[in-house]
Every structure is written in structure tokens, then in C-alpha cells.
Structure 1
Amino acid sequence: MYIESDAPKPPLLVLVGPTAVGKTKLSLTLAKQYNAEIISGDSMQVYRGMDIGTAKAAPEELAAVKHHLIDILEPHEPFSVAEFQERCTSLIQDIGARKRLPFIVGGTGLYVESVCYDFQFSEVSSDEAFRSEMTDYAQSHGAEALHARLAQVDPESAEKLHPNDQRRIIRALEVHHVSGERLSEQQKRQTKVSPYQLCIVGLTMDRALLYKRIEERIDLMLEQGLIDEVRGLLELGIPSSSTSMQGLGYKEIVAYLEGRASLDEAVDLLKKNTRHFAKRQLSWFRHMKEIEWVDMSQLEDFTTQLDAVRAIISTKLTLDRNSY
């Protein structure tokens, strides 16, 4: 078994990084070597039927290693960071109890960080009338206009949130509206003390190469049937305004299917938005001081990169070396 009896805290391995940096391949290799079970740290992969646009691992990859928090909700169901934290914390306990290593892999920074440091979320009460007003405002003026309102009162939160992330933008506006305090200020008060024996590995890459890989990934998604996937969700009655359909790859293709953009315009916008998203991901993760970074730019040097990650794990986690 991998956990030594005198380990002071339960171990938790975490792998983060921007979209298209190479998390999936590395995570599968590490999970097999360390007797780990993967917990998805992606806010969109929880939805069934949203496979291509969320870049889920292939069925055979999901079958090769036990995965959690993938395909657990229907696309019309809401999902919050607080719910993710609750589910993930329970899974970590369960996986550890079975003498396996819990391993969070994903790029949704707030979700991952909330678990790593046991965030206490704002207890500011809700204001349903204000939420409704902001929802109507977004529908009337557009996502960018709503995002601009947040930038006026809480620029730090706005910098971290994609304009399409309407639910979290409205919550940040609501916190400020109800309490007069910025959500970003509340988050800074988090203790950043982890209840886990924590090892966070961050993957980075030359920016030009990362952007090239992003564009190639989107081209592949289109070849794999992204448009048909989005069309099928709309035909099932999933509202285009739902949280799930605001994700990258869905909102842009919806605009094409609804005749508000040509296919070329939609694809160009998707590539642009994804590049901006990757930049925000890296910005978020660089504020997490405990991350140990590994550069993935040399694509042919996977073995070297794997060895670098294993060396980091060996210094951060107390593991039974006979297990791997």
C-alpha cells in the first residue's frame, strides 16, 4: 500500500496547467505508476454528452484508469465550485481509505484551489431580484457588457473570469451588491493552509507553441464532430443560455448554428477565446505559490518530463516506494 502509517496528512497529488498543454497523457502515465485515481478538476467535464468540446479523455483512456467527476450531470443542471469542493473532498477521503492516491487533474483554477486549501466560501446572502436583473442585463446587452460591469467594481475577479462565465460573474457582482465588499478581497483572506500533504505540479509551455496546439486541437474537435455535438444538445432542448452551453466550443458554435455568425467567424472566435482562456489559466496558477513547474515545450522529451515530475513527487509526498 502506498501510504506510510506515520504520514501527518493524507497525500494529494494535483496536476494543473492550461488547456492543450498535455495534462491528459501525463496524468494517465502517473496514475498507473502511483496507484492513483483521477478526479477531474474541470468544471465542464461533469456534463454528459459534452465530450468533444470539453476535450474529455477517450473512452479507452477513461477505462484504463479510474476517473471521477466526469459525466455526473445532465447539461441543464447547475454546478458550482462549492458543490465541486464537497464532492471532491468526499472522493479524496474515499480513495485514500482504499489505499490509493487521490489525483486531481484539471485546469479550472478556482475549483482546484478550493479543494487544495479548503476554501470557506462567502456566506453573503443571495439576492434573487438582483440575480434576475443581472441575467436580464446579460441577455439584453451581451456577456461582454456584464463582464465590464464586474470589471468596474472588482477588476481582479473580472480578470480571472471568462466573459461567458455568467453564473460566477453574477455571483461576484452579487457579493459586491449585498456586502459592499469585493469577492477578490474575500478570497485573499483564505488561509491557504492545506489539510493535505500536498504536491501540485504545474505544466507550462512556450506561448507560441501552446497557441499552435490550441488551434490544432480545435481543428481536430471540428473533424471529430463538434458541430454535430452542439446541434444535438440544442435538439435535446438544452437552452443556449444554460451554464453548460456557455463553455468554450459551445457558445461559439451555437452562434453559428443560430445564424449569428459564419462558420469561419465562429471558429476564429473560438480559437481567440481559447487562447485568452489559456492565458487566464496560467495567470491564475502562477498565483498558487506551492506549484512546482515543469516545461512541456520539448514535445519529444516526454520521458525527461515524466522523470522531472516524479522527482517533484518524491520530495513532496510520503509514499511507500514499493508501490511503484
Structure 2
Amino acid sequence: MLTNEKAKPLLLVLVGPTAVGKTNLSLTLAEQHQCEIISGDSMQVYRGMDIGTAKASMEERARITHHMIDTHHPDDPFSVAEFQERVRTLIPEIHSRGKLPFIVGGTGLYVESVCYNYQFSEANSDEDLRQQLDAFAILHGDQALHDQLREVDPASAERLHPNDRRRIIRAIEVFRVTGTKLSEQLANQTKESPYNLCIVGLTMDRALLYKRIEERIDIMIEQGLVDEVKRLIDEGCNPDSVAMKGLGYKEIIGYLRGEYSYEGAVELLKRDTRRFAKRQLSWFRHMKDIQWVDVTETTNFSAHLANINDIITGKFVQ
């Protein structure tokens, strides 16, 4: 299936909201098409953050080679530009081993930045402004900072969670320094890919997706999410770091700090995850080249797999 030297290199991509069933399908697809999987999730790079990020298990990683997992300490900064740079290096390395690179994940901007070779620049930066905005958030709260972003760039505010302070600061910084919105800069990126792309998107009935999200969170709690957060803090991870403000961690930290009850933390996590899934779907709907597969009938795994294989064959096998 692999392309010849004169053609664009092949890149297979599977996206969809959290809890839609990407992992199970990706493992079987990877076996069938001789793939190595690249995680397209911005949180799975952090070591020790396993349950809350729903990483592939060690058994699953032994079954299929995975990349972009456990590469950073939770206190280390990690950006879409770094993700893009690393993955652009990984793709030819995977091809050189006779394998097909396969990005699987739900962080839309990260995935799209690789698929369409987005250009990122730190030239339009203002460190003093960043420090001022950070100080504002410490004094007035992350929601107040998020409200500032909503005033100047509603589209970016819709995409970013109020607790994602670093990315909110960057979005405000881009507007203040350049006079243009980050959302507009992203929308104006040239959507030409250096790869022969096959992008498959998974979707399902919204009510069923929300039910699966709530069930997944119940399982995460049973697996020891609270203990995982406690361990990370005991090991010295900064509870106010970008990583620890991620979905599944900030809610538990709030409980551990006594800001709300255990039951309240679980309900908050379920609500936040439903909202996150909605934002994911909104992002993916605006991506071009996605071929959608409805996996609402969850018992029809073989049918969904056959459908995706038809899409891959139609795209890659000429």
C-alpha cells in the first residue's frame, strides 16, 4: 500500500470526540494496514497521567507501536508547534520502516497542524504581556481571563476551556500584538497537505455519546483517577501547571482542595467532558477532507471496520 518515492507520502488519520471508540478501531486498523500509531492527543504526552487521558494500555502499546505518549513531565511546556515538529520527523521515520503512519486522536488543532503543515511563529510574542496576563489570571481567576479572550476572539474562546490559561494567554497575545484574531490566522492557513491524506472521522448519536462519556468517567474513577492525581501532586507536580489543569485533573484537584465534594467533582467532570466533546465535534465539522463514519450501532464493529477499510482502499489503492 505504501506510496512510491515520487508521490506524496501516505498519512492515515482517525479523529472523533472522546469516548466515541477510536482506540479499539485504531488497533485493528493498525494491524490490518501495518501501521504505527501517533497519538493526536495533546495530553497523552505527559508521563504519569494515564487514567485521566485514557492512554492506550501497555498491552495495547505492545500490540502496536505508539508514538507521542509519555514524552514530557507534567510540568514541562508542550505546544502545537512542538507536536507538529516531532510528528513531521516521525512520519518519514515510520515510512522508512515500511509502515504506515497513523495519527489517532481528538485534539483538532494538533492533528490539523500536521495534516496541512500550518506555519507557527513566535515572532509575534510579548513576554511582558504574557506575564501581565498571567498575573491578571492569578488575581482575578481564569474565567476572567477567558472573558477577556471572548471579547476579542469569540471563536478561540469557544475552542479553549477557561482553565487552559497558557493557550488563552497566547490567543490574547496574538490579537494584542498583531491586531488579528488567532482564529482568523488559523482559518487563513493554506489547507494544502504535504501528504496523501486519508482522514476518517467517527461520529455517533449525541445522547449515546454522552452516555458513553459518563460511563467512561465512572470507569476512570474505579480505576483510581483520584489516587493518580494525589500521586502526581505527591511527586511534586505543580497542581497549577497546564497539564494538571487538563480535563479530569482540574476537577479532582478542586475536590482535593475542598472546593467541592467528591460527588460534585465527578458530576463536574462529566459535564466538562460533555462540553469538551461538543467542542471537538464543532472543530472537526470545519475540517476538510474528513470522511465520516457513524458508529452509533456499537455492536456492528465489523461493519464499521469494513466501512473504514473501504474508505482507506478508495483513497490509497489506485
**TM-score of the superposed pair, with normalisation by structure 2:** 0.98
Which residue does 2:194 correspond to in 1? 195
CA distance in 2, matches of 1:67, 1:7: 27
Superposed displacement of residue 36, structure 1: 0.2
CA distance in 1, matches of 2:5, 2:113: 26
Cα pair 1:124 1:178 within 8 Å, conserved: no
Which residue does 1:151 correspond to in 2? 150
Please show how residues 107-122 of structure 1 align to structure 2 within 5 Å: 107-122=106-121
Which residue does 2:80 correspond to in 1? 81
Which residue does 1:42 correspond to in 2? 41
Alignment of 1:25 with 2:24, yes or no, is: yes
CA distance in 2, matches of 1:53, 1:86: 25
Superposed displacement of residue 4, structure 1: 4.1
CA distance in 2, matches of 1:29, 1:208: 26
Alignment of 1:267 with 2:241, yes or no, is: no
Which residue does 1:282 correspond to in 2? 281
Deviates more, 1:154-163 or 1:202-211: 154-163
Cα pair 2:293 2:307 within 8 Å, conserved: yes
Matched residues, percent identical? 64
Which residue does 1:315 correspond to in 2? 314
Which residue does 1:104 correspond to in 2? 103
SS of structure 2 residue aligned to 1:27: helix
Superposed displacement of residue 318, structure 1: 3.5
State the one-letter code of the partner of 1:160. Answer: R
State the one-letter code of the partner of 1:261. Answer: Y
Cα pair 2:204 2:295 within 8 Å, conserved: yes
Superposed displacement of residue 125, structure 1: 2.5
Q: Deviations over 1:27-82 (max 9, x none)?
A: 00000000000000000000110000000111101110000010111111110000
Instruction: Give structure 2 stretches of 5+ with no counterpart.
Output: none
Cα pair 2:3 2:9 within 8 Å, conserved: no
Which residue does 1:142 correspond to in 2? 141
SS of structure 2 residue aligned to 1:112: helix
Which residue does 1:300 correspond to in 2? 299
Alignment of 1:72 with 2:71, yes or no, is: yes
Alignment of 1:90 with 2:118, yes or no, is: no
Superposed displacement of residue 160, structure 1: 1.2
Deviates more, 1:173-182 or 1:16-25: 173-182
Superposed displacement of residue 187, structure 1: 1.1
Number of equivalent positions: 318
- Identify if the C-alpha distance between structure 1 residues 34 and 100 changes in structure 2 by more than 3 Å, giving closer, same or farther: same
Would you identify which runs of 4 or more consecutive aligned residues in structure 1 move more than 4 Å? none
RMSD between aligned alpha carbons? 1.1
Superposed displacement of residue 267, structure 1: 0.9
CA distance in 1, matches of 2:3, 2:264: 55
Q: Deviations over 1:154-209 (max 9, x none)?
A: 01111111112211111000001111111111112211000000000000010000
Which residue does 1:322 correspond to in 2? none
CA distance in 2, matches of 1:168, 1:109: 14
Please show how residues 108-257 of structure 1 align to structure 2 within 5 Å: 108-257=107-256
Cα pair 1:7 1:318 within 8 Å, conserved: no
